[in-house]
Chains A and B, each alone.
Chain A
Amino acid sequence: QVQLQESGPGLVKPSQTLSLTCTVSGGSISSGGYYWSWIRQHPGKGLEWIGYIYYSGSTYYNPSLKSRVTISVDTSKNQFSLKLSSVTAADTAVYYCARAPESQLAFSWGQGTLVTVSS
């Protein structure tokens, strides 16, 4: 069974870049067939899709975040990463990594990690 685990700083200063990594175990990113995604949830709010990456490197981003987001993949480490630049308090959220079969785009989720933007 594939498991996903988010890691990264829990506190980021305003204007800096938020960086998170998702480590995949129990399956290989490079085997293909899945989109590897980042999704966030503001405190007490709903879910917001940030973007996803295919193992080949093709990326798809939420248009509202596209100018600040970069998602990349490191198949040698079986990891994919999120960078969100110029963060503000509005970027404080629980960040989830997830994967979705390319045939369905239905997500299976990591446990999530809280990132707080504060000085």
Chain B
Amino acid sequence: QSVLTQPPSVSGAPGQRVTISCTGSSSNIGAGYDVHWYQQLPGTAPKLLIYGNSNRPSGVPDRFSGSKSGTSASLAITGLQAEDEADYYCQSYDSSLSALFGGGTKLTVL
């Protein structure tokens, strides 16, 4: 059971917009700690997609965006492409600096 809750799966057609939620608590996200997002393509290591709630590392398309409010965060993907089909994980931490991961969301591009 993950401390951060994500939907197990989401899906969308090419070109559409999808969002993935990440719900925490007052001990982690709600305490003001940053949320980061990772994309894991099949058979590969996770890749940092969004850091510090809403910042994109160099090379990440602006189709990917992140936001945070209260005890939750969201990842939005616009202009969905087949290559976006992957698992997505949110990550935050708590006051003891323990890193916390969401359970992951499998994105299917229809």
- By a beta-carbon cutoff of 8 Å, the part of chain A in contact with chain B is 37, 39, 46-49, 52, 60, 62-63, 96, 100, 104-112
Contact = CB atoms under 8 A, between A and B. Distances in A.
Nearest to B93: A105
A105 B38 CA distance: 13
Contact of A106 (B51, B98, B100, B104): B51
Contacts of B99: 37, 39, 49, 52, 100, 105, 107
A102 B75 CA distance: 23
Interface residues of B, number: 23
Given A107-B91, A109-B47, A60 B101 contact: no
A47 B97 CA distance: 16
A52 B93 CA distance: 13
A62 B101 CA distance: 12
Given A46-B103, A107-B99, 20 more contacts: A46-B89, A46-B102, A46-B104, A47-B91, A48-B101, A49-B101, A60-B97, A60-B98, A96-B45, A104-B36, A104-B51, A105-B34, A105-B36, A105-B97, A106-B52, A106-B91, A107-B46, A109-B45, A109-B47, A110-B45
Contacts of A48: 101
Nearest 8 Cβ contacts at the A-B interface: A49-B99, A106-B51, A106-B36, A47-B101, A109-B45, A46-B104, A46-B103, A60-B97
